[in-house]
Amino acid sequence: MRLDPRHLEILAAIVDAGGLTEGAAKLGKSQPSVSRSIAFLEERVGQQLFEPRRRPLRPTELCLSLAAEGRKILDAGRAASALVQTFKSGEAGTVRVAGTPIFMDGVISGVIAEFQADHPNIRIDQSYAYIDEALEKLKQDQLDLAILPVRPGALPAEFEFRQILKGCNVIACRVDHPLTQHAEMTARDVIDYAWIAPPANSPLFQDMRALLESIGQRELKIGFTGGSLSAVLNVLAGSDSLTILPYSVVVTLQRRNQVASLPIEIGDPGRHLGIIINRSRSLHQAAIRFESFVGERIKGMSRSMASD
Amino acid sequence: MRLDPRHLEILAAIVDAGGLTEGAAKLGKSQPSVSRSIAFLEERVGQQLFEPRRRPLRPTELCLSLAAEGRKILDAGRAASALVQTFKSGEAGTVRVAGTPIFMDGVISGVIAEFQADHPNIRIDQSYAYIDEALEKLKQDQLDLAILPVRPGALPAEFEFRQILKGCNVIACRVDHPLTQHAEMTARDVIDYAWIAPPANSPLFQDMRALLESIGQRELKIGFTGGSLSAVLNVLAGSDSLTILPYSVVVTLQRRNQVASLPIEIGDPGRHLGIIINRSRSLHQAAIRFESFVGERIKGMSRSMASD
DNA sequence: TAGCCTCATAACATGAAGATATATTATTCG
DNA sequence: CGAATAATATATCTTCATGTTATGAGGCTA
């Protein structure tokens, strides 16, 4: 026999309230409505739920058992409402975000850590992707947002780009690197050292090539290539190698004394770090929160970089 | 925001079934009905519950969370249905039964123990009462049945009496009592011993008085009075006292070697043990089960008594 | 791109649940 | 014991979600 869960809810409310009238009030319904619902349930069940001819309504044993189930239903309903609330407020949910390995590991991961402290019920699904892959995933709704260095104007109109940091690369080395002792330095000084090349399909790789061309160099000694940021840092720390890294990453790492940077001017790469979203899809609240949080943090970071 | 628990049930069914059509089938509803219910819920919630334009319906994260609550509701509903079933079948519930202390402790408690082995979900509320009190409680529906020795015809018409045992009292003593050695015995032999008197308001007390009168005796040495069966038994075992007890009780106790009985004829007390119910109230299934169980057992017991 | 399969919509019927007004009944209190 | 009070049940009407069948639309697979 199938019972209407709403009837069980009503039963629970009445039993808990200790009376039909109060129970009805608690449910925001009229007393007759509740009375009839119970009559219905009683008929369906085929058993007395309240002792007849008793004016302070006295529940039957079966009634009490059923009310216990009704209470579970009420609780589940309340939990469901709460769930909806938190999801709608953006305090729960999953944000799918992707970006270049260097940025994600060097800058964004720290921001994510801060974000999660504030919003423990929002889950961040982070993955790595370069621009083409990221746009494809955004288009297919496999991604909520991408954080990438992008050349403004190079983006199809279906995507929106919100710049959060001006692009700027620097040459990085280990903290006690010999070059850090030099008072003055020219681009020529760096070509004698082994280099760590970013992944060949990354924008940084193109930036490195541009840098080399600007100092009239075609080839460099490449000692290591293809790794993640932490691999790069390990190699950097254990050798005299140099590499090119976004300034923002270097700033973050310098605070932890993990790298040093060389005071060599590198031309503006023409790319700027920003958040990309798919215009045709509206972000859900959790993603909106994350997006603005990242924006704020990175802007704060860039202010402190400017004041360095 | 208040959600309809039935919608959550439907959601759970759909998610579990992996599709709207199958979910509808599982719920025994038509597919369009379910479809619209979900549309309703979606509108109420104000969030997508399934990813749009995906034909094997793919649940949203929020949807999965809500479905989990819906599953709880489904479970509670099923539990409620099961409860009703067991109550209606008489496999659960409470039977309120009262009787004289001596019968309840001496005979019925053993039957209750057997009954509970068979019907673990039926609770027995046992209390002690003599006839007047028991009838009053039956009338006020504070009792489902009473088990009492009653003089047939002495019962108001509003009660039904179902005899389960012919009344018959015997004189009881401890197992090694001196009188048990006598080959022959007359009523006169018993008057030298101290007696344990049943409670003054009990039928047994009247039976004892009748016995005394039948042997021309007005007074007895009363050594102990007023206790429960176990108190009587303890005094009996620790002294040479005699007492009067229903034959059925003595038979039960003799099997455990706790008492002996004396072969002295006692006149029929005119009362017979039976179950009393209130005609104006119908017994619930659990009480019916208990009543017939007790009837069967006691009848079985009386058969084995007859063959002694 | 054709065809299948799943889901959404339309149109209509039904009936449960809501409200207000009112009757009925238990309990309490003088 | 009877009247007052409070609580529950009933009556009647309205509304609207749910159910139905028939049918249209659109993703998915080959």
- In angstroms, how far is C16 C1' from B142 CA? 36
The proportion of chain A whose per-residue pLDDT surpasses 90, expressed as a percent, equals 39
pLDDT band at A308 (very low <50, low <70, confident <90, very high): low
- A18-45: average pLDDT: 89
Cβ contacts (< 8 Å) between A9 and chain B: which residues?
A: 5
Q: For B44-54, what is each residue's pLDDT tens digit?
A: 888 888 887 87
Q: Do B73 and A72 count as a contact with CB atoms less than 8 A apart?
A: yes
CATH number of B90-164+271-306: 3.40.190.10
Alpha carbon separation from B208 to B105, B178, B189, B202, B253 (Å, rounded)? 19, 21, 16, 10, 20
Alpha carbon separation from A142 to A134, A277, A289, B15, B296 (Å, rounded)? 9, 12, 18, 21, 71
The pLDDT of residue B104 = 92
Alpha carbon separation from B282 to A181, B116, B144 (Å, rounded)? 102, 22, 9
CATH label, B5-88, candidates 1.10.10.10, 3.30.1370.160, 3.40.50.300, 3.40.640.10: 1.10.10.10
> How many CA atoms lie within 13 Å of B105's alpha carbon, on the beta-carbon side?
13
**Which residues does A51 contact at the CB level (< 8 Å), separation at least 6?**
A58, A59, A60, B141
Report strand pairing: A169-173 vs A222-225. Answer: unpaired
Instruction: Specify which residue's alpha carbon is closest to the C1' of nucleotide D25.
Output: B53
Select the residue from B7, B64, B65, B123 to test the A interface by mutation, using most A Cβ atoms within 10 A: B65
pLDDT band at A171 (very low <50, low <70, confident <90, very high): very high
Q: Which nucleotide is nearest to B20 (CA to C1')?
A: C7
Angle of the A61-89 helix axis to the A285-306 helix axis, nearest 10: 40
Residues of chain B with pLDDT under 70: 306-308
Which two structure tokens, joined as six digits, stand for A204?
């940084």
- Residue for token pair 């040479």: B240
The pLDDT of residue A305 = 72
Listed in sequence order, the DSSP H helices in chain A are: 5-17, 20-27, 31-45, 61-89, 101-103, 109-118, 131-139, 203-214, 229-237, 247-255, 285-306
Cβ contacts (< 8 Å) between B70 and chain A: which residues?
A: 76, 80
- Angle at the Cα of A114 from the Cα atoms of A111 and A115, rounded to 5 degrees: 85
The pLDDT of residue B4 = 92
Would you tell me which residues 203-242 of chain A have a C-beta closer than 8 angstroms to some C-beta of chain B? Answer: none
Backbone angles phi, psi at A107, to 5 degrees: -125, -55
CATH number of A90-167+271-306: 3.40.190.10
Answer yes or no: CATH 3.40.190.10 is held by domain A169-262: yes
Comparing CA positions, the residue from A27, B298, A37 lying closest to residue A49 is A37
- A125-139: average pLDDT: 90
Sheet holding B272-278, edge to edge: B122-128, B93-99, B145-150, B272-278, B159-165
Task: Indicate if the alpha-carbon torsion angle B80, B82, B85, B87 is positive or negative.
Answer: negative
A26 beta carbon to strand C: under 7 Å: no
Angle of the A61-89 helix axis to the B5-17 helix axis, nearest 10: 70
Domains B90-164+271-306 and B169-262 share a fold: yes
The pLDDT of residue B308 = 55
Distance, in Å, from the CA atom of B304 to the CA atom of B308, rounded to the nearest integer, reads 6
Q: For A265-304, what is each residue's pLDDT tens digit?
A: 787 778 899 999 988 778 888 999 999 999 999 988 888 7
Residues A42/A55, Cβ–Cβ less than 8 Å:
no
Chain B touched by A159 (CB under 8 Å) = no
The pLDDT of residue A77 = 92
The pLDDT of residue A6 = 92
Cβ contacts (< 8 Å) between A5 and chain B: which residues?
A: 5-6, 9, 73, 76-77
Domain boundaries, given as residue ranges, for chain B:
5-88, 90-164+271-306, 169-262
Q: For A83-116, what is each residue's pLDDT tens digit?
A: 999 998 988 988 999 999 999 998 999 999 999 9
Sheet holding B222-225, edge to edge: B222-225, B195-197, B242-246, B169-173, B260-262
